[in-house]
Amino acid sequence: MRSIQLVLVAVAALIWPAMSRADQAIDALVDALRIGEVVQVMRAEGLEYGSDIAAEMFPDRAGGAWPILVDRIYAADTLEQAVRTQLAIELDNVDVAPLTAFFASPEGQEITELEIVARRALLQPEVEQAAAEAARKLNETDPELDSLLHDFIAVNDLVEANVVGALNASYAFYTGLAEGDAFEGTLTQEQILTDVWSQEDDIRSETTEWLLTYLALAYGPMDRSGLAEYVELSETPEGQALNRALFSAYDKMYVSISRQLGMGAAQFLAGQDL
C-alpha cells in the first residue's frame, strides 16, 4: 500500500506542475486582454438592458426587486470567472504565448484600451449616434480605415458570430420565460424557434451597423500600420483560435444570463417574489 501511495504522489507531482503552468499561461493572457475591465463594461451594458426589459414588459413595476435581480445576474466576479474558465477549455491545446506577448506589448495594450474606452463611450446614446453617423461616411472620409475595418470584420467572421450569439441569447431568454410559465404553457419550443429566427434579418442589419460604429470609434485613433498588423495577427492560427475561444466564452455567458433574465421576468410578471 505504501508503494502505491508513493507512485500516486510521484504521478501527481508530474501532472500538477503542468496544469499549473497551463493555468498561469491562460491567466497571463486573460490579464493582458484585460477581461476583468471588459466584463465591467458588459455589466454596465447588462444593467441598462435590464432596465429596457422592465420598461417594455412591466413598466409600472420596474423598481424594487427587479434591479436587485439584474444586478445579481450581472455580478462581475461571476461573469469574469465564467469567461476565464471557458477560455481555458477552448485554448487547452493552443500555444497562447504569442498572443500574450502581443497583447501585453504597448501596441496590444493600446488596442485593448481603445476597445474598452470605445465600448464604454457607446453607453451614452449621443456618442453612439454621432459615432454611427461618422461610420456611415467612413468610406468617403477615411477609405483606408474603412477597408481595414472591413478586413478585420471578415477575417474574424464578426457579423456571423455576433448574429449567432444574439440569436442564442434571444432563444435562451424566451426559454427562460417559458420555463417560468410566462406564457401559461401556450408557447411551444417550435413557436419560440420560429419567433427567434424571424429576428435574424433585423439582428444582422443592426449588428453590421453596430460593429462598424464600434470598431471605427475604437481603432480610428490607431496608426494604420499597427491596425494592419492586428488584422494580420487575427489571420494566424493562434489569432483564429483566440477569436473562436472568446466568442464561445461570451456566448455561453450571455446564454446563461439571458435564461436567468427570462426566468426572472416570468416570475416578476406573475407577481412572485424573486
pLDDT class for 272, splitting at 50, 70, 90? low
Give 131-147 pLDDT, tens digit per residue. 999 999 999 999 999 99
pLDDT digits (tens, 9 = 90+) for 182-194: 887 778 888 999 9
Kindly state the average pLDDT of the residues 24-43. Answer: 96
Q: What is the pLDDT of residue 186?
A: 76
Supply the pLDDT for residue 270. Answer: 80
Instruction: Work out the average pLDDT over 90-106.
Output: 95
pLDDT higher than 70, residue 62 = no
Cell numbers given for 37: 475591465
- Percentage with pLDDT > 90 across the chain: 81
* Whole-number Å distance between alpha carbons of 170 and 125: 23
Quote the cell numbers at residue 113.
484600451
Average pLDDT over residues 161-170: 96
Lookup result for grid cell 472620409: 141
Mean pLDDT of 68-96: 95
Cell of 16: 500538477
pLDDT score of 3? 53
Supply the pLDDT for residue 20.
57
Res. 8 pLDDT band, cuts 50 70 90: low
pLDDT band, residue 21 (cuts 50/70/90): low
Residue 13 has pLDDT above 70, yes or no: no
Examine the pLDDT at 11 and tell me if it is beyond 60: no
Question: Looking at this protein, which amino acid is placed at residue 158?
Answer: L
pLDDT at 23: 79
CA distance 116 to 45: 12
Gap between the Cα atoms of 85 and 79, Å rounded: 10
Predicted confidence at residue 59, as pLDDT, reads: 83
- What does the mean pLDDT of the chain come to? 90
pLDDT digits (tens, 9 = 90+) for 230-257: 999 999 999 999 999 999 999 999 999 9
**Band of pLDDT at residue 60, cut at 50, 70 and 90:** confident
Q: CA 42, CA 168: separation in Å to the nearest integer?
A: 17
Assess whether pLDDT exceeds 70 at residue 128: yes
pLDDT reading at 274 higher than 60: no
Among 187, 16, 24, 4, residue whose Cα is nearest residue 97 = 24
Residue partners of 55: CB distance under 8 A and separation at least 6:
62
Q: How large is the average pLDDT for residues 153-174?
A: 96
